[in-house]
Chains A and B, each alone.
Chain A
């Protein structure tokens, strides 16, 4: 038997004895205070609280709720000694009469996770203990117990029987107690209202019973303060009866969530096993665990991080965010994390069981998420590669323009100057003229080269101007239909230019067309580039690297290239470029 088991066993034995005690006390003390009530409810409440507390403690040793329940049970048993007509026993019961309620407040305010959540809650708990101990002792020193209708014996702690003083002091604790009880009820009601779905369902049984006990105590104390003694007996019986139900409310809630949880997991298994049906594992888990906010994160071992179903990086919730993550493993390795409401913290086995039931599907989805993450990475890197190659092309074009081209221009001007001084020598003039022709051809070739690398005016003057140049240079009549008429994002402009340029090159090379047409329109957040001709058709994007390369380029900015080219009916190249 290990330490914990031994402690549980000892507590159980002590609880059994403590719970049995009220019965002989009540039986032996004819005329004692609320003797019959104590005979019935004494053992019932004691055993119920201690037993349920032990069960809760076994389930969750780290959660204080179990210990608090056990403490309520023991203090309750001690307080039943009030029914005794033996002075020593009576005064023990009398002094501890309020203690079970102070501990109960603590229990209710700390339910279900065993922690107090706010300063107000902590103040209420401290005030409860203060009232049940310090105020109770002070009150006892001034209260004449013998000779009342309650059948109390002598008060051995009495220090004065001055009736005026007695009434003032003895009113103090009940008044404080009423305010305190109302405060506790208000906090409990507020917490219940603030709780959502599964959290609220977990709170309801215990909070309803607890609030009722506290409210009945407030009425009981209040009736005493204002002197309505007729209803006090009924209020006390009612309160004690509801108090006796509280452990059962706790057990009921536990069993309910177990049964509901178990059923939900078996339903989940059945649904996941339903072959031929595409299941959304998140929705299924959200339904099984009754938590609509539930989300899934998939583990990527390579990156040692979690991603969502779309492959985007995702962070697990931090402590105190209202959500927690429960890891699901398969063959000893993490595959996913179920991110769920922290009210399910008490039911992590259930979450894990549901996760394990879904682990095969989760593993598949994890693989899909991993694939999506990789695709996303590749897509981004492809876009980056295209962008950096565009940058490089722009630089080369700039360098050609500023370097070689300027030198050639300068040479051409020098030759012209030289020519005017050579008027007298026709031989030299002819030579010079042929050098100048060579130079002109070199300049033209250089311009052509630069244009192929990057259209020189695209960055400065935009598509409209550049397209006009393109259409002018084409060796067949090209009609420039719709143009954007405004500047577009740089990568859209350069891709559009390359589509038109490559398509017109193809028209000139292969189509034997007599006429072509270029249209650039905007359609639902996309730029649509269309180049059509009246040539022989039969172009195949799979053959020849031109259209294929163009398709890659268009795809790099998430666009789509379509080529329609039925034999004998011309060719239409259409690129749809998303442009938000």
Chain B
């Protein structure tokens, strides 16, 4: 079961809330990143078990970031997040190498574990 988490999202407000929520549900949030570049750096140094990755990032998109994260030496499990719903993303998520997709509003340990099971 994944316990250490990296949150990748360019909205500081969302990162703060997600950290509080995840920590209240027992996760250990080891880092936050606001771009693809800093996410890759953090993933290399912090080697989290789980990365929550926003589909839209200022310097690229979460789908491409996912494939780079999952090909790291000690890769995290990746769950894509977005304020859109999963249907909008269609096969994009399925082909990305991510474990799945959670709408931001539905974020919870329960939803994540459902995907990681």
Contacts and interface: CB of A to CB of B under 8 A. Distances in A.
Interface residues of A, number: 29
A417 B11 CA distance: 19
B105 A440 contact: yes
A246 B88 CA distance: 89
Contact of B24 (A410, A417, A460, A471): A417
Contacts of B107: 413, 416
Contacts of A440: 105-106
B105 A443 contact: yes
A469 B87 contact: yes
B41 interface: no
A410 B13 CA distance: 8
Contacts of A410: 13-14, 17
A409 B83 contact: yes
Interface in A402-423: 405-406, 408-410, 412-414, 416-417, 420
Give the one of A456, A465, A466, A469 with max B CB within 10 A.
Answer: A469
B105 A472 contact: no
Nearest to B105: A412
A406 B11 contact: yes
B91 A468 contact: yes
A439 interface: yes
B14 A473 contact: no
Interface in A383-419: 401, 405-406, 408-410, 412-414, 416-417
A408 B14 CA distance: 11
A457 interface: yes
B18 A413 contact: yes
A473 B105 CA distance: 20
Contacts of A417: 17, 20-21, 24
Given A412-B105, A413-B21, A417-B24, A406 B88 contact: no
Given A409-B104, A413-B107, A460 B61 contact: yes
B92 A461 contact: yes
B95 to A, nearest CB: 10
Interface string A424-449: 00000000000000011001100100
Interface in B91-107: 91-92, 103-107
Contacts of A472: 87, 90
Contacts, number: 69
A267 interface: no
Interface string B35-69: 00000000000000000000010000100000000
A471 B88 CA distance: 10
A369 to B, nearest CB: 49
A1 to B, nearest CB: 91
Nearest to B11: A406
A447 B82 CA distance: 12
B85 interface: yes
Contacts of A515: none
Contact of A439 (B24, B87, B105): B105
B61 A420 contact: no
Contacts of B92: 461, 465, 468
B90 A468 contact: yes
Nearest to A472: B87
B17 A420 contact: no
A465 B62 CA distance: 14
B59 to A, nearest CB: 13
A401 B14 CA distance: 14
B21 A416 contact: yes
A469 B94 CA distance: 13
B90 A420 contact: no
A473 B87 contact: yes
A404 to B, nearest CB: 10
Nearest to A412: B105
Contact of A447 (B17, B61, B84, B90): B84
A412 B104 CA distance: 9
Given A420-B24, A457-B84, A413 B104 contact: yes
A451 interface: yes
B18 A460 contact: no
A409 B105 contact: yes
B25 A420 contact: yes
A469 B92 CA distance: 10
Contacts of B14: 406, 409-410, 413
A370 B49 CA distance: 71
B72 interface: no
Contacts of A457: 84, 88-89
Given A456-B88, A465-B92, 7 more contacts: A417-B20, A443-B103, A456-B84, A457-B89, A461-B61, A468-B91, A472-B90
Which 9 pairs from chain A and chain B are nearest by CB? A468-B90, A412-B105, A413-B17, A469-B88, A409-B104, A469-B90, A409-B105, A472-B87, A409-B83
7 contacts: A408-B105, A410-B14, A417-B20, A417-B24, A447-B85, A460-B61, A469-B88
Interface of A: 401, 405-406, 408-410, 412-414, 416-417, 420, 439-440, 443-444, 447, 451, 456-457, 460-461, 465-466, 468-469, 471-473
